[in-house]
């Protein structure tokens, strides 16, 4: 089956880790992920600036490595990201901000990408909250 997975929570929320473990199980089960879409506070799960204690799970790094290793289409909603201060180089320059905190493999795009993923997928599974 084809899955679209949408994440609505930041990396310190248990649901962000749960979404990653679910996504890993999707692929391990022989299914396909058509897109990951990060919305609302989920944009923080793509931040390159989160610093984790050495004895804690580094979830942004785990998400990044998962996306890169599996070569997944991974989109962060631009409107949600901007209002939460998650910017790539282009947006940081556009809005004259001092720093960018969103790197590859994440792409900034609009809600159309969420809708397209939902249309392409057999299942849309969302994660958020605790």
Partner 1 sequence: MSKSLLIISRQAPWSGPGAREALDIALAGGAFDLPIGMLFLDDGVFQLSGAQQPASLQQKDLGANLQALPMFGVEALYVAQRSLEERGLQDHPETLAVERLDDAGLSALIDRYDQVITL
Partner 2 sequence: MATLHVLSHSPFTDSRLSSCLRLLGSQDALLVCGDAVYALQAGSAQLQALELMPEAIALYALDEDVQARGLELPARLTLVDYPAFVALSCQYSKVNTWL
Binds 29: which of partner 1, partner 2, none (CB < 5-8 Å by kind): partner 2
Q: Which member of 11, 26, 35, 66 binds partner 2 (CB under 8 A)?
A: 26
C-alpha distances out from residue 112 to 75, 76, 82, 118, Å = 11, 12, 17, 10
Binds 26: which of partner 2, partner 1, none (CB < 5-8 Å by kind): partner 2
- 61: Cβ–Cβ under 8 A, 6 or more apart, which residues? 52
Task: Tell me if residue 77 is catalytic.
Answer: yes
Judged by CB under 8 A, the number of residues near partner 1 is 17
C-alpha distances out from residue 64 to 23, 67, 70, 80, 110, Å = 13, 5, 10, 19, 20
> Under the phi-then-psi rule, with left for phi > 0, alpha for psi from -120 to 50, and beta for the rest, what region is 6?
beta
The span of 12-20, 73-81, 87-95, 107-115 binding partner 2 (CB under 8 A) equals 12-20
Contact call for residue 82 and partner 1 (CB under 8 A): no
Q: How many CA atoms lie within 13 A of 129 on its CB side?
A: 2
Torsion on CA atoms 109, 112, 118, 120, rounded to nearest 10: -90
Q: Which member of 6, 36, 76, 86 binds partner 1 (CB under 8 A)?
A: 6
Contact call for residue 2 and partner 2 (CB under 8 A): no
Q: Is-contact 37 108, C-beta < 8 A? A: no
Residues at the contact surface with partner 1, assessed by CB under 8 A: 6, 8, 39-40, 79-80, 83, 110-112, 114-115, 118-119, 124, 126, 128
Active-site residue list: 77
Residues at the contact surface with partner 2, assessed by CB under 8 A: 1, 3, 8, 14-15, 18, 21-22, 24-26, 28-29, 31, 122-130
């Amino acid at each position: 089956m084809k899955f679209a997975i949408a994440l609505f929570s930041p990396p310190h929320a248990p649901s962000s880790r749960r979404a990653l473990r679910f996504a890993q199980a999707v692929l391990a089960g022989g299914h396909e992920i058509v897109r990951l879409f990060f919305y609302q506070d989920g944009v923080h799960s793509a931040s390159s600036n989160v610093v984790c204690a050495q004895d804690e799970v580094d979830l942004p790094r785990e998400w990044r490595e998962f996306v890169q290793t599996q070569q997944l289409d991974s989109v962060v909603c631009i409107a949600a990201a901007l209002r939460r201060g998650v910017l790539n180089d282009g947006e940081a320059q556009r809005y004259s901000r001092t720093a960018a905190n969103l790197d590859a493999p994440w792409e900034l795009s609009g809600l159309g990408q969420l809708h397209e993923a939902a249309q392409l997928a057999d299942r849309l599974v969302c994660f958020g909250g605790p």
